[in-house]
Structure 1
Amino acid sequence: MIKIYGMSSCPDCTYVWEQAKGNPTYEIIDFGHHVSDLKAFLRLRDHNSVFDEARARGAAGIPCFVLEDGRVTLVPEEAGLSARPVQGQACSLDGTGC
């Protein structure tokens, strides 16, 4: 199963969640609903170089995909989904771009 971490307030997350909804290949994890899910995401983000560029830009690094082989990616296509078409800037930690 592919885990998708994100938040319902993130348009990039909801875009990929709509594609994954109802498909048993995916587990959607909205870490805004429970602190244990947030902690799991932060462990990934704090210890994985995949997030280096996102952190440098001040981005949250979501949606985040944990593939079945354990590899972490921020690229929806690597998880078999499509990215939201570019419509300006992505969400940043400071709230810009959302």
Structure 2
Amino acid sequence: MKITMYGAEICGDCVNAKKSLSTLKEIELEFKNIIGDTATLKEFLAYRDNDSMFQEVKESGRIGIPFFILENGEKTFDIGKYIEMPAVENQTKDSASSCSIDKKGQC
């Protein structure tokens, strides 16, 4: 299964999801770092600005990453609903302080 993931290397939730997905042989992961270049950021913002699934995210001051698009076009913030995510050693524990504006919530 191919999964496109939008995220950032400074987001603990993104780092953990990327590590976990990378261990699965049946997953072809395309990681798109939204802070890596402006073209990728614009791609992500087009989804964020135009997809109703981001409404609650925006209202709560979050970014909306990690954000996943499955090969069938389905979009989700919770990839665990679609595949069993393996535990990975040395996962980042404090993601809220790294990418949440209020440093209280998730990305």
Q: Is the 8 A contact 1:2 1:65 kept in 2?
A: yes
Which residue does 2:5 correspond to in 1?
A: 4
TM-score by structure 1 length? 0.81
Which residue does 2:71 correspond to in 1?
A: 68
Written as runs of structure 1 = structure 2, the 5 A alignment for 1:1-98 is: 1-21=2-22, 23=25, 24-80=27-83, 82=85, 90=96, 91-92=99-100, 94=101, 96-97=103-104
Alignment length, in residue pairs? 96
TM-score by structure 2 length? 0.75
Partner letter of residue 7 of structure 2?
Answer: G
Cα-Cα RMSD: 2.7
Q: Is the 8 A contact 1:2 1:27 kept in 2?
A: yes
Stretches of structure 1 that go unaligned for 5 or more consecutive residues are none
Secondary structure of the residue that 1:80 maps to in structure 2? Answer: coil
Q: Is the 8 A contact 2:4 2:69 kept in 1?
A: yes
Higher relative contact order (CA 8 A, sep 6+): 2
Q: Is the 8 A contact 1:13 1:62 kept in 2?
A: yes
Stretches of structure 2 that go unaligned for 5 or more consecutive residues are none
